[in-house]
Structure 1
Amino acid sequence: MTPVVEGRAIVQDYHMPGSMMRRASTVRAVNGIDFAVQKGKTLAIVGESGSGKSTLARIIALIDAPSEGELLIEGKRVDIAARRPGPQLRSKVQMVFQNPYGSLNPRQKIGDVLTEPLVINTDVPAAERRERAKAMLQKVGLLPEHYNRYPHMFSGGQRQRIAIARALMLNPSLLVLDEPVSALDLSVQAQVLNLLADLQDELGLTYVFVSHDLSVVRYIADDVMVISKGVAVEQASREEIFANPTHPYTRQLFAATPVTDIEAIRARVARRRAAGLGSTVQT
């Protein structure tokens, strides 16, 4: 089966200009990484700050072009030299960023935030764009009347739901999620993770999920790739990684990271919903 996204020997170099005090140099942020993600699966990318995981995420999301290597989307090689993927390719891959407070334009109404991808990439009439946006708001647990509100009127969890809705407006096959719940309270994290799991089941989405939180990774991932200093030191299924991490860096990372029981929080949120204690509009 052809992977939804595949990387072959991906390299990303950053060139640092020289000055009177230092020589010009090159920093290798990603060094020869291979990966593949099948349809409907989630690959979690794990590593400490500065490991290169967010750099790799931006490459997969077609925001940055790699210095070397091959990136394939649904079996088709992305032209690295072009650096500007066309609308057809852009619609297949979307990204959700870490900070829900900074990723939405505060001067745009939510309706404009959601319809903008359709305006840029499609010829869909205005009335249909509006209806699609209202339907997407409902799909992520918000209300159609939120269409005319501004981002400052929403909580962090609601803003992240809006960011997810925006990413889904072009019906992508792949979502790249860079620390999408790290800025949220634990109970809100559980709600957003529940939403992502439900959307994946309903829409057959494929996720590349960047996180430093191992409890989140344990819940959301099918496979895990551990990165250190730009190198993938270990790749395996979630079960294998958590049961028997083989690389010293992976064991060190696991030992140093406090683990929150996100499953318990998720179960508590589900019980509140079943009891009718949760509101229609999610936080």
Structure 2
Amino acid sequence: MSDAKDTAIVEGRALVQDYSMPGSLFTGSKQVRALKGIDFRVAQGKTLAIVGESGSGKSTLARIIALIDAPSEGELLIDGQPIDITRRRPGPEMRSKVQMVFQNPYGSLNPRQKIGDVLTEPLVINTRVPAAERRERAEAMLQKVGLQPEHSNRYPHMFSGGQRQRIAIARALMLNPRILVLDEPVSALDLSVQAQVLNLLADLQDEFELTYIFVSHDLSVVRYIADDVMVLSKGEAVEQGSREALFADPQHPYTKALFAATPVTDLDAIRARVQRRKEAREGQTV
């Protein structure tokens, strides 16, 4: 778990999110509280995993941290600065600090855009970088995520699911963010590809000192990648702590039930097999 003295790069204080739900002709609309006073803090370079069942509030919290939605109450701080998106949109400087990677890579990529245009679009919108430099950055980022520069001339449908998720990660990194919010980023991939993408995320985190907010229902993935874990149930944070502490000795009955009901896959073993295959391929090309 992060040292309490570490400066939090992102912090939530008593975050509440209410939604209006349509009611009947007689009752009218009603308020539903999706988040109920969430507190958290994450130090730079660390990973906070947010876990819970469907409807627990995981994605709602992720969208607040990613500056997509504003909380109904409470405070979100980035680098110690309170963020208020209820009155105005965050400027390019703040927007560049936080980026989001969604669950479905195909749904988040414009099928009519070539990959080079997908990657350079954030630079076009948020910076004044010349076109030639934008292309160079895009090709360099493709290589960072394990793809080739020539892939910039292809369309999303020409890639596998794992490759499309690599492209989505590359796009999120184009503005050099400090925080990535990852909402179920590997749940649509098979296990061997999951391990490859998780390896990539770990490497990128080390290289760029990235902070991850990692939303997942898969405890195997959480155990593999997280430093700290927050367990949500019906909009409440029922338990928080280091990965080691929660997996070794969960305290809350909901956490115990969640862990007991979830089969655990040995991703370390899968990662080792993937690495051996990679080394074997590299040995053949030498």
TM-score by length of 1: 0.96
Residues in 1 aligned to 2:246 and 2:91: alpha-carbon distance in whole angstroms = 37
The match for 2:164 is: 159
Does residue 25 (structure 1) correspond to residue 30 (structure 2)? The answer is: yes
Alpha-carbon distance change, 166 to 126 in structure 1, aligned in 2, over 3 angstroms: same
Residues in 2 aligned to 1:83 and 1:182: alpha-carbon distance in whole angstroms = 33
Which residue among 53, 66, 74 is the counterpart of 1:61? 66
Report percent identity of matched pairs. Answer: 82
Residues in 1 aligned to 2:126 and 2:250: alpha-carbon distance in whole angstroms = 43
Residues in 1 aligned to 2:197 and 2:35: alpha-carbon distance in whole angstroms = 29
Alpha-carbon distance change, 279 to 126 in structure 1, aligned in 2, over 3 angstroms: farther
Does residue 242 (structure 1) correspond to residue 247 (structure 2)? The answer is: yes
The match for 2:179 is: 174
CA deviation after TM superposition for structure 1 residue 259, in Å:
1.2
Does residue 44 (structure 1) correspond to residue 49 (structure 2)? The answer is: yes
Residues in 2 aligned to 1:134 and 1:70: alpha-carbon distance in whole angstroms = 38
Q: After alignment, is 188-197 or 11-20 more displaced?
A: 11-20
Residues in 2 aligned to 1:232 and 1:269: alpha-carbon distance in whole angstroms = 35
Which residue among 189, 195, 209 is the counterpart of 2:194? 189
Which residue among 144, 147, 162 is the counterpart of 1:142? 147
Residues in 2 aligned to 1:69 and 1:83: alpha-carbon distance in whole angstroms = 17
Q: Secondary structure at the match of 2:281?
A: coil
The match for 2:3 is: none
Question: What are the within-5 Å matches in structure 2 for residues 83-232 of structure 1?
Answer: 83-232=88-237
RMSD value, Cα: 1.4
Counterpart contact for 2:67–2:85, Cα < 8 Å: no
Residues in 2 aligned to 1:145 and 1:91: alpha-carbon distance in whole angstroms = 26
CA deviation after TM superposition for structure 1 residue 85, in Å:
0.8
CA deviation after TM superposition for structure 1 residue 207, in Å:
0.1
Q: Secondary structure at the match of 1:37?
A: strand
Q: Secondary structure at the match of 2:172?
A: helix
Counterpart contact for 1:39–1:205, Cα < 8 Å: yes
CA deviation after TM superposition for structure 1 residue 17, in Å:
3.5
Q: Secondary structure at the match of 2:86?
A: coil
Cα deviation code 1:194-215 (max 9, x no counterpart): 0000000111000000000001
CA deviation after TM superposition for structure 1 residue 81, in Å:
2.6
Residues in 1 aligned to 2:153 and 2:230: alpha-carbon distance in whole angstroms = 40
Residues in 2 aligned to 1:81 and 1:189: alpha-carbon distance in whole angstroms = 36
Q: Secondary structure at the match of 1:276?
A: helix
Residues in 2 aligned to 1:277 and 1:191: alpha-carbon distance in whole angstroms = 16
CA deviation after TM superposition for structure 1 residue 80, in Å:
3.7
CA deviation after TM superposition for structure 1 residue 84, in Å:
1.2
Which residue among 242, 257, 261 is the counterpart of 1:252? 257
The match for 1:75 is: 80
Residues in 1 aligned to 2:135 and 2:284: alpha-carbon distance in whole angstroms = 25
CA deviation after TM superposition for structure 1 residue 6, in Å:
0.3
Residues in 2 aligned to 1:18 and 1:238: alpha-carbon distance in whole angstroms = 41
Residues in 1 aligned to 2:106 and 2:113: alpha-carbon distance in whole angstroms = 13
CA deviation after TM superposition for structure 1 residue 279, in Å:
11
Q: After alignment, is 6-15 or 83-92 more displaced?
A: 83-92
Residues in 2 aligned to 1:18 and 1:225: alpha-carbon distance in whole angstroms = 32
The match for 1:265 is: 270
Alpha-carbon distance change, 138 to 42 in structure 1, aligned in 2, over 3 angstroms: same
Residues in 1 aligned to 2:86 and 2:111: alpha-carbon distance in whole angstroms = 34
Q: After alignment, is 14-23 or 254-263 more displaced?
A: 14-23
TM-score by length of 2: 0.95
